Structure 1
Amino acid sequence: MSGFRHVVMFRWAEGTTTGQQDEVAAKLRELPGVIPGIREYGVGVNAGVNPGAYDFVVVADFADRDAYLVYRDHPVHRAVVDEYITPIAAERASIQYEP
């Protein structure tokens, strides 16, 4: 596969509700319909198989680095991050790479 991949994982703050997590997932799932350049987009909740894992992941594929940058800086994406994710995120880890 050619292109550019973005992976981000979150650990939610203690006290984060299932409703808040569901709201984050729902808001993120709307982004491919709003932001051009997203090839594939998936979000998921940790299956709980291994201890110490993160709680939530986003895996997004783009045609190239420039398409990722459009997504990263898009005001709708920034609003989701600022309004729904940042208030409940305790930790965040991310990587971007060319698969």
Structure 2
Amino acid sequence: MSGFRHIAMFAWAEGTTTGQQQEVAAKLSELPAVIPEVGALSLGTDAGVNPGNYDFVVVGDFASRDDYIAYRDHPAHRAVVDGYITPILARRAAIQYEM
């Protein structure tokens, strides 16, 4: 397999509502239709099996590093990050790698 993968994990701030979390997921799920460079976008909420986990994950697959960068910098993605994620974010971890 070839391509480029981006994984971002989020821990929500105390007091974040279920509605806010669902809104983040809904807004992120709209991005593949808006940003053609997105090959696949998978979203998930932690299953609650282990304590201390992050709350939410985004896994994005792209054909190339350049396609990931186009997604990262796209105004629609930036609007989701700035308007929906950042206001409720306690911490974030991310990694990108060649597949």
Q: Which residue of 1 aligns with 2:62?
A: 62
Which structure 1 residue ranges, 5 or more long, are not aligned?
Answer: none
CA deviations over 1:15-55 (Å, ceiling 9, x no partner): 00000000000000000000011111111100001111100
Q: CA deviation at 1:64?
A: 0.3
Q: Are positions 1:31 and 2:28 aligned together? A: no
Q: Are positions 1:86 and 2:78 aligned together? A: no
Q: Which residue of 2 aligns with 1:72?
A: 72
Runs in 1 of length 4+ with deviation above 2 angstroms? none
**C-alpha separation in 2, matches of 1:8 and 1:47:** 16
State the TM-score, normalized to the length of structure 1: 0.99
Give the length in aligned residue pairs: 99
State the TM-score, normalized to the length of structure 2: 0.99
Which structure 2 residue ranges, 5 or more long, are not aligned?
Answer: none
**C-alpha separation in 1, matches of 2:41 and 2:24:** 14
**C-alpha separation in 2, matches of 1:16 and 1:58:** 18
Identical residues among aligned pairs (%): 73
**C-alpha separation in 1, matches of 2:95 and 2:24:** 20
**C-alpha separation in 2, matches of 1:71 and 1:39:** 10
CA RMSD of superposed structures (Å): 0.5
Output the amino acid matched with 2:84.
Y
